[in-house]
A and B are shown apart, each in its own frame.
Chain A
Amino acid sequence: MGTRLVAIACVLLAGTAAVVLAAAPERTGSHAAGFSPETVTVAPAAFEHVRPGEYLHASGRPTRAPRIHVTARNPVEIMRYQVTLGEYARCVDAGACKPADGRGPMDAPVTGVSHIDAAAYAAWMSKATDETWRLPTDEEWAQAAAEKFVPDVEPAEEDPDNPARAWLSSYSREAALGRKADPVAKPKGTFGTNSNGVSDLAGNVWEWTSTCYVRVTLADDEGSVSEVENCGVHVVEGFHRTYMSNFIRDGKSGGCAVGLPPDNLGFRLVREQPGFLGRLKASLGRS
Chain B
Amino acid sequence: MITRREALIGAVTAAAAAAAVSFPAAVHAAPEGAEGLPRHKVELVAPPFVHAHDQVAKTGPRIVEFTMTIEEKPVVIDDEGTVLQGMTFNGSIPGPMMVVHEGDYVELTLVNPETNEMPHNIDFHAATGALGGAALSQVNPGEQVTLRFKATRTGTFVYHCAPEGMIPWHVVSGMSGTIMVLPRDGLKNEKGEPLRYDRIYYVGENEFYIPRDADGNFVSFESLGESYADTLAVMRGLVPTHVVFNGRVGALTGENAMKAKVGETVLIVHSQANRDTRPHLIGGHGDYVWEEGKFANPPAKDLETWFIRGGSAGAALYTFLQPGVYAYVNHNLIEAVELGATAHFTVEGEWDDDLMTQVRAPAPIPGM
Contact = CB atoms under 8 A, between A and B. Distances in A.
A181 B325 contact: no
Contacts of A156: none
Contact of A164 (B323, B344, B364): B323
A67 interface: no
Interface string B334-350: 00000000001011111
Contacts of A257: 325
Nearest to A172: B346
Nearest to B216: A103
Nearest to B324: A164
Interface of B: 79-81, 215, 253-255, 257, 322-325, 344, 346-351, 353, 358, 360-364
Contacts, number: 67
A183 to B, nearest CB: 5
B361 A171 contact: no
B325 A171 contact: yes
A205 B351 CA distance: 38
A286 B324 CA distance: 61
A66 interface: no
Given A175-B257, A183-B79, A167 B364 contact: no
Q: Identify whether the interface residues of B are mostly helix, strand, loop, or mixed.
A: loop
B253 A258 contact: yes
Given A215-B362, A226-B363, A181 B79 contact: yes
B362 A168 contact: no
Size class of the A contact interface (CB-based, 8 Å): 20 to 34
Contact of A181 (B80, B215, B322, B347): B80
Contacts of B253: 175, 258-259
A200 to B, nearest CB: 21
A168 B326 CA distance: 10
B323 A226 contact: no
A171 B325 CA distance: 8
A162 interface: yes
B361 A164 contact: no
Contact of A56 (B255, B346, B362): B362
Contacts of A163: 324, 351, 358
B167 to A, nearest CB: 33
Contact of B363 (A171, A217, A252): A217
Contacts of B324: 163-164, 167-168
A183 B360 contact: no
Given A60-B360, A183-B79, A258-B344, A175 B325 contact: no
